[in-house]
Amino acid sequence: MPFAGFNMPINYKTGIINEHKNVRNHSGIFDVSHMGQILIENNESYLHKLEKYIPLQLKKLIKNRSHYSFLLNKDGGVIDDLIISNIDIKDKSYLYIVYNASRKKEDEEIFTSCAPNAEKIYKKNCLFAIQGPDSIYVLKNIIDIPNNMNFFDILISKYNNNEIIVSRSGYTGEDGFELSIPNESAENLITHLLKNENTMLCGLGSRDSLRLEAGLSLYGHELNEKITPIEAGLSWALDKERLEDENLNGNKILSDQLKNKLSKKKIGLISTSKSMLRDGMTLLDNNNNEVGKITSGCFSPNLNKSIAIGYIISEFNIDNPIFCEIRKNLELVKINNLPFVKKKYKKNGSIYE
């Protein structure tokens, strides 16, 4: 399947549902080398310029920690969502940013305008995610992982004498790790990991159903340039002090949104029949008025039903029945709090020093 200029597998041999369950019960490995990875020198002038787009206090990021954040446009809309980490590589301090493949062009224009010597490393480094409760057991025989490593901790480790970037993170709602490893050692590492019989390669299909069950947003679906992080229910990821800062794009719009009522809100939905809820389907109230749209839908192997994420207008009273138009029929759907499946991250620390 073509995906952001890459040819990517939807699933491997055993199928999406089996891969999904293997991640929830054991572990699974995703090749996410298509994603953007960039190193930006931890230099005050670069950070100041980046703070126009990124709603964090970049100078205060704790070393060896990662943060979920965004690039914002002038209206506070999301240019991309990304993971940004503060790490030292060969005694030099960097911001290491992982971003969406589909947004490389837009993101890199910003990164290089802020930091001309920003180093894209995705051509020389593969990126793998190993996800699921057993990830730590699969990984720790192969790579040195300290016992006290928490979710969103990040460090430099070694494999085959290559330095690799190891973060305890992922996008499935499970404990897990992401490994950025030089291409020449990448195949060895995968072969090594797959020697464990309980793990398996997983494709884009299960990556999508896992993140949807965990209620996690996907760029191009729940997030785009016309949606702000607050409308997307992600205000927790914004540094509130930065919303007072004129240097941050859309700061006024965002702080207004925080104080006032939003025009739309993100919700979770569960199908009451066996029909599948899919991206783009219309949501209606019992007077047949459109009240929203689905932005992602899939079959949930854990709930054995179709689940979806969508946006509805805030005036809609969620105690009223809501219907989804599925192939010209209206089917009752149930509003459900996100996430659908509880996240199982290893204990989190504070964001700032």
Partner 1 sequence: MSEKKYTKDHEWVSIVNEIATIGISNHAQESLGDIVFIELPSVGNSVKAKDEICVVESVKAASDIYAPIDGEIIEVNNNLENDAAIINQDAENEGWIFKMKISDSNQYSELMSEDEYKQFLEQ
Residues 155-214 that bind partner 1 (CB under 8 A): 205, 209
Dihedral sign from CA coordinates of 5, 218, 20, 281: negative
Question: With left for phi above 0 and alpha for psi between -120 and 50, is residue 91 left, alpha or beta?
Answer: left
Nearer to partner 1, 327 or 342 (CB): 327
Q: What distances in angstroms separate CA 305 from CA 106, 270, 299, 320, 325, one per listed residue?
A: 36, 7, 6, 21, 17
Question: Which one among 57, 64, 150, 275 touches partner 1, defined by CB under 8 A?
Answer: 275
> Least CB distance from residue 12 to partner 1, whole Å?
11
Q: Which of 4, 10, 258, 262 binds partner 1 (CB under 8 A)?
A: 10
Q: Which is nearer to partner 1, 49 or 207 (CB)?
A: 207
Of the pair 140, 293, the CB lying nearest partner 1 is at: 293
- Hey, how many other C-beta atoms are within 10 angstroms of the C-beta on 61? 22
Does 298 interact with partner 1 (rule: CB under 8 A)? yes
The strand pairing partners of 268, in sequence order, are 309, 336
Q: CB of 206: closest distance to partner 1 in angstroms? A: 9
Among 278, 343, 344, 346, binds partner 1 (CB under 8 A): 278
Secondary structure in 3-state letters for 181-223 = EEHHHHHHHHHHHHCCCCCCEECHHHHHHHHHHCCCCCECCCE
Taking the complex as a whole, the smallest distance from the CB of residue 306 to partner 1 amounts, in Å, to 8
Q: Which is nearer to partner 1, 66 or 306 (CB)?
A: 306
The distance of closest approach from Cβ of residue 49 to partner 1 in the complex, given in angstroms and rounded to an integer, is 42
Given the complex with partner 1, which of 17 and 142 has the nearer CB atom? 17
Q: Closest separation between CB of residue 88 and partner 1, Å?
A: 42
Does the protein bind partner 1 through residue 15 (CB under 8 A)?
A: yes
Residue showing tokens 């990821």: 237
Q: Give the alpha-carbon dihedral of 38, 39, 41, 47, to 10 degrees.
A: 40
For residue 339, the tally of other CB atoms under 10 A from its CB is: 17
Please state the closest distance from residue 329 (CB atom) to partner 1, in A: 9
- The one among 53, 128, 299, 311 contacting partner 1 by CB under 8 A: 299
Cα Rg of the chain, angstroms: 20
Report yes or no: 24 and 174 within 8 Å, Cβ to Cβ: yes
Reduced to 3 states (helix: H, G, I; strand: E, B; else coil), residue 69 is strand
Contact in structure between 39 and 119 (CB atoms under 8 Å):
yes
Give the whole-angstrom CA distance, residue 101 versus residue 34: 6
Stretch that binds partner 1, among 11-19, 35-43, 193-201, 282-290 (CB under 8 A): 11-19
* 233 interacts with partner 1 by CB under 8 A: no
Query: Please, what is the minimum distance in Å from the beta carbon of residue 276 to partner 1?
Result: 5
Q: How far is the CB of 137 from partner 1 (least distance, A)?
A: 27
Q: What are phi and psi of 136, to 5 degrees?
A: -60, -40
Measured between alpha carbons, how far is residue 268 from residues 50, 172, 213 in Å? 33, 16, 9
Query: According to CB under 8 A, which residues from 317 to 346 bind partner 1?
Result: 327
Footprint of partner 1 on this chain (CB under 8 A)? 10-11, 15-18, 205, 209, 274-276, 278, 298-299, 306, 327
